[in-house]
Structure 1
């Protein structure tokens, strides 16, 4: 009976250890998985965009610009995070830009994020990527446009806009659509009330982009807005920004993250093996001592 109880105790201890370890590693594993998933979404958009011919792309962009021309600075906007948005109108206003449901992706070198962009701001959309705020300009650029892109902070399995507060004045954000890459230089960072929309309105002759999320982190009583104006896109500058603003460890982790996960799991299995072997040897030694004493 004592041996059975000891064996049962060892099994329970091992299970508790494994459960605790998995809980500890969960944020890291899910973050790596989402980075991988987001990267796949971005690649899927870029690859399928290449299959579109130039004529089709131009027609789609013209439709998007025609939609933008109907918008004014008097549009009624709603706070993404307090008003539940319906999805019925998604296809009607953004279908021309969609490739496998995505209307593009947003690259933010400062916080090492390249995230898929979807039309609308429903819970379904914001739980898997960034959402384009309804009744704001579609992200195709042009005079008198202002595209607003929203994203969550603090989701347990995704970063999204968690680090948006680290973006600085002068940083450049890149929006990829079916036709081109648009570059926006950040000139305004503000914390506003949830229903203060004056900074999201269209201004005559300006081409602007705003990234919007909740703040303070995990409190979510206000909104953080990061606004930029359109500048000429420069591919070399984009690559340079990505290299300059990524810490050394990010590149290392991005290249070797799966090897590191494998190494970590191997170390864990090895430690478990050593622990079990020690327990097993101790058990044998006790049995031998008992038999010798008899």
Structure 2
């Protein structure tokens, strides 16, 4: 009698075990994006801190790599040229453009020119030159043909990112930004602080909205819109504060 009862308990134990495994798998699937985001944020903030510490330490000791001074002059001259001659080379950042300058020649690996910090979104993203598909999978990118992110009186640096994917949110929460929110661009020379002045939704081919505006030092964030679609572009226009 006792043996029959033990055999009858086996299917029940199997069902409970299977249910437990399915629950664990489901919990893992739900937790995966959150865990990936936490790891992405930790790595990005660690790398950003190291980047800024190394940069500021070199500046404080007067030990800046001369190649970086050369790079700053090059990018400044290029921004002046763009302001004077126009921006015929602009293209949609999601068409995957290659960078016009190889930063590795100036001691900056992976064509990473710095970081973008947006506290209102809780975002810190590495910033790469060239809106290539590979770079856009890693963080934010500078749009080739727009002003380089080194500031200036006639500049509009366009910074693009996806509206998130499994590993990171990126610009997913860009619609939460409000007028006055700060956007920090930490390049190889200094930290530039901008404030949001306007948001707008435009067609992918509307390049007039991201061109240089005479006398203004701007950064424009660009991403797909609406969330989950590639139909439009959501722009956040930011003006230099410091």
Alignment TM-score, normalising by the size of structure 2 = 0.85
Residue in 1 that maps onto 2:15: 9
The 8 Å contact of residues 110 and 167 in structure 1, kept in 2 or not, is answered as: yes
CA 107–85 in structure 1, closer or farther in 2 if over 3 Å, else same: same
Cα shift at 1:6? 4.2
Could you tell me how far apart the structure 2 residues matched to 1:229 and 1:5 are? Answer: 67
Aligned: 1:124 with 2:137: no
Cα shift at 1:138? 0.9
Q: What residue ranges of structure 1 are gaps of 5+ in the alignment?
A: 233-294
Could you tell me how far apart the structure 2 residues matched to 1:95 and 1:159 are? Answer: 31
For residues 62-90 of structure 1, what are the alpha-carbon distances to aligned partners after superposition, in whole Å with 9 as ceiling and x for unaligned? 12212222224332311122x23246x45
Could you tell me how far apart the structure 2 residues matched to 1:47 and 1:78 are? Answer: 34
Residue in 1 that maps onto 2:49: 43
Aligned: 1:77 with 2:119: no
Superposed counterparts of 1:55-204, under 5 Å: 56=66, 57-71=68-82, 72-81=85-94, 83-86=95-98, 89-91=100-102, 96=106, 98-99=108-109, 101-204=111-214
RMSD: 2.3
Residue in 2 that maps onto 1:22: 28
The 8 Å contact of residues 200 and 234 in structure 2, kept in 1 or not, is answered as: yes
- Answer with 1 or 2: which has the greater Rg: 1
Could you tell me how far apart the structure 2 residues matched to 1:74 and 1:132 are? Answer: 14
Cα shift at 1:120? 0.8
Could you tell me how far apart the structure 2 residues matched to 1:138 and 1:86 are? Answer: 14
CA 67–96 in structure 1, closer or farther in 2 if over 3 Å, else same: farther
The 8 Å contact of residues 61 and 97 in structure 1, kept in 2 or not, is answered as: no
Single out whichever of 54-63 and 27-36 deviates more from structure 2.
54-63
Alignment TM-score, normalising by the size of structure 1 = 0.71
Which portions of structure 1, spanning 4 or more consecutive aligned residues, are displaced by more than 6 angstroms? Answer: none
Could you tell me how far apart the structure 2 residues matched to 1:103 and 1:97 are? Answer: 10
Cα shift at 1:164? 0.8
2:128 is paired with a residue whose SS is: strand
Aligned length: 229
CA 193–7 in structure 1, closer or farther in 2 if over 3 Å, else same: same
Cα shift at 1:35? 1.1
The structure with more helix, counted as a fraction of residues: 1
Could you tell me how far apart the structure 2 residues matched to 1:170 and 1:97 are? Answer: 35
Q: What residue ranges of structure 2 are gaps of 5+ in the alignment?
A: 1-6
The 8 Å contact of residues 116 and 183 in structure 2, kept in 1 or not, is answered as: yes
